[in-house]
Amino acid sequence: MSPGSYYCSLKKPKFAISVIFDPGYYLAPALAKFEAGTMRVGVTQNFFMGRGVVPTVQYCGGGPNQVKLTKLIHRIGSGALNVTPLVNATKLPSS
């Protein structure tokens, strides 16, 4: 899995999955708001998986697993799947 940017095109190291959450990807929407005069100091903008182009996860090479993953991401973004209870119910291994 890649460390936060789209790295599927890299030859070395080779990634099977690209996890995209790099803060640089969020700069363009912020600049667009600034240019439009709608950016406000002290206002937090939240980004949600499945509601925009980032954050996201992609299988390098696509295929049927990417289709399934894309559908899952859209379910999360639409609110059809609430992941919070799932995350909260996850038991971490004891140290």
Taking only the tens place, the pLDDT of each residue in 10-63 is: 989 999 999 888 777 778 888 888 999 998 888 887 788 888 877 789 999 888
Residue 95 has what pLDDT? 58
Report the distance separating Cα 30 and Cα 95, nearest Å: 41
Report the distance separating Cα 71 and Cα 47, nearest Å: 18
- Partners of residue 57 on adjacent β-strands: 19
Taking only the tens place, the pLDDT of each residue in 61-89 is: 888 989 999 999 999 999 999 988 888 88
Report the distance separating Cα 78 and Cα 75, nearest Å: 5
